[in-house]
A and B are shown apart, each in its own frame.
Chain A
Amino acid sequence: MATDVMPAHSETSRPEDNYLTASKGIMSWLVTLDHKRIGVMYLIGTMTAMFLGGFLALLLRAEHISGTPTFFTHDQYNQLFTLHGAIMVFLFIIPSIPAALGNFILPVMLGAKDVAFPRMNLCSFYLWVIGAIFFICALLTTGLDTGWTFYTPYSTNTSQTNVVLATFGAFILGFSSIFTGLNFIVTIHTMRPPGMTWFRMPLFLWSLYATAIIQVLATPVLGITLLLLAAERMFGLGIFDPKLGGDPVLYQHFFWFYSHPAVYIMILPAMGIISELISTFSRKPIFGYRFIAFSSMAIALLGFLVWGHHMFTSGQSEMVTIIFSVLTFSVSIPSAIKVFNWLATMYKGSIVLATPMCYALSFLFLFTIGGLTGLFLGALATDIHLHDTYFVVAHFHYVMMGGTLVAFIGGLFYWWPKMTGRMYNEFWGQISSLIVFVAFNLTFFPQFVMGSRGMPRRYYNYLPEFQVYHVLSTIGAFLLGFGLLLAAIVLIVSLFKGKKAPANPWGAATLEWQCGSPPPLANFEKTPTVGNPYDMNSVVWDPDTESFIRRGDVPPVTD
């Protein structure tokens, strides 16, 4: 089905061409239908958003060097944390792994030529760009001061900032996300080559599949909610504002009905990356493949049932609160299963600490802390105390930044040779992972302590007793910024100075390593033979090409 909409390339393409060199000029990128180029554009876009959001974060942390006004005013501070959160969530972390890495890798890993709907894929990217422009306009005009959660009635009747502009931005970004999800679902269902059964699919694909289901089912709810919010603000329709007969708690239900599943949009793809990295760099098949695959699906489904745990103190009914608490604990199990399985994969492996693996081990450490602190928040009596404090801030940074961002960088280093055809500098890559790991803990661990000591979040000023934790956190943040910058530099330098990358530098058995680096325009010259994606014995090191190659003597899997 996709083959008939593939870009016309065959007249010009030569065998030594790859997707980067197959056509030239800026227009060949802007109107490309190639999933790889769209993935690269998404990568550039989301990375730009990340560095912008990160810059705002450093300004926020700088303000907290003292508890009294330092660099900014009340209003500026409120705008900084809102834009930091909104940019990181809507422009970076939700699209990052699926739309940037997923777009590039999913079809190649599947053994397909492209995604099912390449035009929709390009459209998704442009929707992202338009959404980003709305956000930037809000930023440049009045800013935005509602928090990324847009809680009513503040957002509809009080805030003086451009809430409507920003909500339209988020609305459009929602469609971008839905398009990506829809495309991935259809691609995985219809475009698997012969032999690629569901249970021969790499776990990264399972996780993207589970993510896509959430994207398609949950995002429309956010869209509608934001439209209602805009309608209330512009036309005075009473939906959420009690002065107009509305209910502010209703807004929170709608918002978290999307935004809780959305945290799994953020973490599931990251877990998928980690499954690939741990298996490859331990040179061992992943342990408990089916449990990991099913746990992705379980998380996707259970993730829809726990939104109320963001509202334990909101005034929702006590019975509902209790039910949400017990359901919340049920989602912690599939996450724990994955962690145990990753560990078991390393057992009796042959572990090499290449940069992607260093990031994967960081992920294990940080995500475990993030997940375990979720237990304190899921338990009602403790959440009442911890809710809306820095404890929650630390919790979600451990899962979103320590988890998703770290896995994203690990994945980026892993697939970088495939995407660009260049090897990065291993030593500096490892150093970057070490700095990021140490600085991350320095930034966010003190926040757990100050949170449980009662430091509320979204505070511009704070009482003197919290200063020591804030100062530690600020120092950590600047170090962390440096570590991330270093990682970016290592990757960018490799484009100019890096060795040429072989087809399979790591010895992984998934299909994307069977085509050239970078892949040719149509991914595979001939349809690849599909084997067990984690059978590390099927590839061996070949000193002539300095690459791992498929062993000729491995019989094709039959069933």
Chain B
Amino acid sequence: MTQFWNSINPFPGQHSTFASNVDAIFYFTFWLSAFFFVAIVGFMIYFVVKYRRIEGQEPETSPSHNTTIEVAWSVIPGFLVLGIFWWGFTGYVDMRSPPSEAYEVNVIASMWQWQFKYPTGAIAKELHIPVKTPVKLIMQSKDVLHSLYIPSFRTKQDVVPGRYSGMWFEATDVGVYNLFCAEYCGQKHSDMITKVVVHPVTAEDATDEVKETFDAWMEVAADPLKGPGGVVIPLEEAGKNIVEIFQCAQCHSIDGSKKVGPSFKGNFGKEVEIAGQGKVLMDENYIRESILEPTAKIRLGYEPKMPSFKGQMKDEWIDAVIAYIKSIQ
């Protein structure tokens, strides 16, 4: 039964403080519309049946104009729609007035992925937020228009290149929800989907779906050298996490195939050809330099396209990345 109800219910669950108001406006408009719709179609069918043409019988004359009625049905709907406007407007003002003490997350949208950066320096591909806490997103786009849309929160805002856009919400329930890109952004627009993970603030509120508290998650996310629960993990594995956070794989494959940059696979400890400098040994120092000063040595056949990660990549993290690259042979 609940399954049946869910499949015809026009909405996903309500999981933000806006959701119940938005749905209330929706249902108010819906029932008002349903009333008018049923009345209009009802009269239409009734007239078609009642006044169908009978051969040889001309219709009795009836007035073709009645100012009172015409003014009434112009003015009354006018007031009704003004009511809808007013309710929609007040709901909108709430959505666009973030409380001053909101938790801030930076969002970077690019074709075709989301990146979320936290005040602690943590970076994630999914949006992790604490439950029952106002969260404010400060959004920017690296390329074209995108739009961040979380149906369960009933909110959406376009991300426009060349400026910051903001939005805020407060999640009411621990859980995992869909996050979509809603503004067409080219080839893989429909793959620009990720999740919002709403974490409990205290351990008692944990659910089977989301067990970690926000702080526990953050401790790990902010420190790629640690695994779940804060345990120390092997350096190679930490390196893998870091490569994932910085999205190195966009340009470097791990299977030997050529992308924008050379593959990580099978190069460590070998001589590599550098444009204008001959052969150079790829060792720990070479990797370190490539991360911090990528243009110093350009591999033959590649373009100097890699950005520097100086100031973003901590020394211990570089150690981990080196260990990871070493391991891919």
Residues of A within 8 A of B (CB): 74-75, 78, 145, 147, 151, 153-154, 157-159, 242-243, 247-249, 282-291, 313-315, 318, 321-322, 325-326, 329, 332-333, 336-337, 339-341, 343-353, 361, 364-365, 368-369, 372-373, 375-376, 378-385, 387-389, 448-449, 452-454, 456-463, 468, 534, 537
Contacts and interface: CB of A to CB of B under 8 A. Distances in A.
Nearest to B95: A384
Nearest to B75: A333
Q: What are the 3 tightest A-B residue pairs by CB atom distance, in nearest-first order? A: A242-B162, A454-B151, A381-B91
Contacts of B156: 313, 384-385, 387-388
A286 B37 CA distance: 21
B204 interface: no
B144 A154 contact: yes
Interface in B60-106: 60, 62, 64-66, 69-70, 73-74, 77-78, 81-82, 84-85, 87-96
B191 A336 contact: no
A159 B111 CA distance: 12
B68 to A, nearest CB: 12
A372 B33 contact: yes
A74 B111 CA distance: 14
A381 B92 contact: yes
Contacts of B21: 381
Q: Which of B18, B94, B161 has the most CB of A within 10 A?
A: B161
Interface string B135-153: 0000000011101010110
Interface of B: 7-8, 10-12, 18, 21-22, 25-26, 29-30, 32-33, 36-37, 40-41, 43-44, 47-48, 51-54, 57-60, 62, 64-66, 69-70, 73-74, 77-78, 81-82, 84-85, 87-96, 111, 143-145, 147, 149, 151-152, 154-158, 160-163, 165, 178, 180-191, 193
B37 A348 contact: no
Most chain A beta carbons < 10 A, residue from B43, B88, B160: B88
A375 B44 contact: no
Contact of B59 (A284, A315, A453, A459): A284
Given A153-B144, A313-B147, A333-B74, A287 B65 contact: yes
Given A329-B81, A368-B40, A458-B184, A351 B47 contact: yes
Contacts of B47: 343, 346-347, 349, 351
Contacts of A380: 88-89, 91-92
Contacts of B90: 381
A248 B145 contact: yes
A348 B190 contact: no
B62 to A, nearest CB: 4
A353 B49 CA distance: 10
A289 B65 CA distance: 8
Contact of A322 (B89, B178, B187): B89
Contacts of B149: 388, 454, 456
A262 B90 CA distance: 30
Nearest to B60: A348
Given A158-B144, A287-B64, A339-B40, 5 more contacts: A75-B187, A333-B77, A333-B81, A364-B40, A364-B44
A159 B186 CA distance: 7
A66 to B, nearest CB: 13
Nearest to A380: B92
15 contacts: A78-B187, A313-B182, A318-B96, A321-B92, A329-B84, A340-B70, A350-B54, A376-B30, A379-B88, A381-B91, A382-B91, A387-B156, A456-B182, A456-B190, A461-B190
A440 B164 CA distance: 42
B189 to A, nearest CB: 6
Contacts of A340: 70, 73
A414 B149 CA distance: 46
A450 to B, nearest CB: 9
A283 B59 contact: yes
A352 B12 CA distance: 45
B10 A384 contact: no
A353 B40 CA distance: 18
Contact of B43 (A78, A329, A343, A389): A343
Nearest to A153: B144
Contact of B188 (A74, A242, A243): A74
Contact of B48 (A325, A329, A345, A361): A361
Nearest to B153: A385
A384 B154 contact: yes
Nearest to B143: A158
Given A159-B186, A247-B162, A381 B180 contact: no
Given A282-B51, A372-B33, A383-B88, A460 B190 contact: yes
B178 A463 contact: yes
A315 B158 contact: yes
Nearest to A344: B69
Given A337-B70, A365-B44, A381-B21, A154 B185 contact: yes
Contacts of B62: 284, 347-348
A351 B73 CA distance: 24
B57 A350 contact: yes
A375 B84 contact: yes
